[in-house]
C-alpha cells in the first residue's frame, strides 16, 4: 500500500486496515516457523504497510503536515 493510498483513507478505514495487516503478519510468521513460506517477501511488505499506517495515524493525531483527522 502506497503512502498516497494511506493518506486518502479515513481514520476508521486505517484502523481496520491496521488490524488486518497485524493479523496477516501474525499468520505469516506462524506459518513460516512451522512450514515453508510461499512468499517470504510478503512479511516485509506487511511490516512496511503497518509502519505507513501508524505514521499517518500519528501525523493526524499531532496535526503534522497539515493533515487533520478525518
The listed CATH number (1.10.287.310, 1.20.120.160, 3.60.150.10, 1.10.287.1080) that belongs to domain 3-62: 1.10.287.310
Condensed to tens digits (0 to 9), the pLDDT of residues 8-67 reads 999 999 999 999 999 999 999 998 888 887 788 999 999 999 999 999 999 999 988 766
Does residue 4 surpass a pLDDT of 70?
Answer: yes
The pTM of the full predicted model, rounded to 2 decimals, is 0.86
Domains of the chain: which residue ranges?
3-62
- Per-residue model confidence (pLDDT) at position 39: 85
- Per-residue model confidence (pLDDT) at position 67: 62
- Per-residue model confidence (pLDDT) at position 40: 86
Of residues 14 and 68, the one with the higher pLDDT is 14
Please give the C-alpha separations between residue 16 and each of 9, 20, 37, 39, 64, in angstroms, as whole numbers.
11, 6, 25, 23, 22
Amino acid at each position: 500500500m502506497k503512502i498516497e493510498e494511506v493518506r486518502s483513507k479515513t481514520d476508521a478505514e486505517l484502523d481496520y486496515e491496521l488490524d488486518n495487516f497485524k493479523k496477516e503478519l501474525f499468520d505469516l510468521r506462524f506459518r513460516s516457523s512451522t512450514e515453508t513460506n510461499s512468499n517470504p517477501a510478503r512479511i516485509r511488505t506487511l511490516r512496511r504497510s503497518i509502519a505507513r499506517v501508524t505514521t499517518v495515524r500519528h501525523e493526524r493525531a499531532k496535526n503534522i503536515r497539515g493533515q487533520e483527522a478525518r
